[in-house]
Amino acid sequence: RRRASKLRVKNRKLPIPDHIDLVDALFRWYDQGHRSFVWRAEPGDKLDPYRVWLSEVMLQQTQAATVERYFNKFIAHWPTLKDLAAADLDALLQVWQGLGYYSRVRNLHRTARIVQHEHAGRFPEEEADLMTLPGIGPYSAAAIAAIAFGKPTTVVDGNVERVIARLFAVMDPLPKARSEIRKLAATLTPDRRPGDYAHAIMELGSVVCRPINPV
């Protein structure tokens, strides 16, 4: 068995389990059972980039349970990117009503048209290219690249920040620690199953490594 590595934190050396062992353990945990959402593929499967993008935008600052209902409504009205690009913005706003943060739906409409008309209906696959699209920031770009296109990107949301901070004993509070946490998270990001890994580490932060009363 691999010996524990050493990580220097706050001028102290702390024993940290081997990174490969950590990722393997996370995959085993995720594969044994995880939450099921309409936009989520089974481990190893690929999803339609349109659905991945739509869900990631909706999940910004919104609980998954709420998003699922709206996601289903959107897919029923506009099942493809081409349909969404051709839609009337007022119709989108009406279906979006109640989900809040209305700039998101306006950016959805703008991005759908850009991808449809300027990228021949195909989403860019690289993080940097995805970030040129309206409403797609660093987290969303990394998540879409990993989940939809299998790119080994480092996905960091609030759940991942919490997991990494506790795992590596990061003592500085946010937002000061954000840069350090991202660097540490990148050391764990695997080349294999990047989409499943992104789902798994976010799931771990959401259902186990919770802000209070972790399981």
Q: Decide if 118 is catalytic.
A: no
**How far from the centroid of its chain's Cα atoms is residue 48's Cα?**
15
Q: Which of 56, 127, 161, 203 is catalytic?
A: 56
Tokens of 200: 């798994």
Token pair 């999803």 is found at 47
CA–CA dist 215, 207 (Å, integer): 8
Residues recognised as catalytic? 56
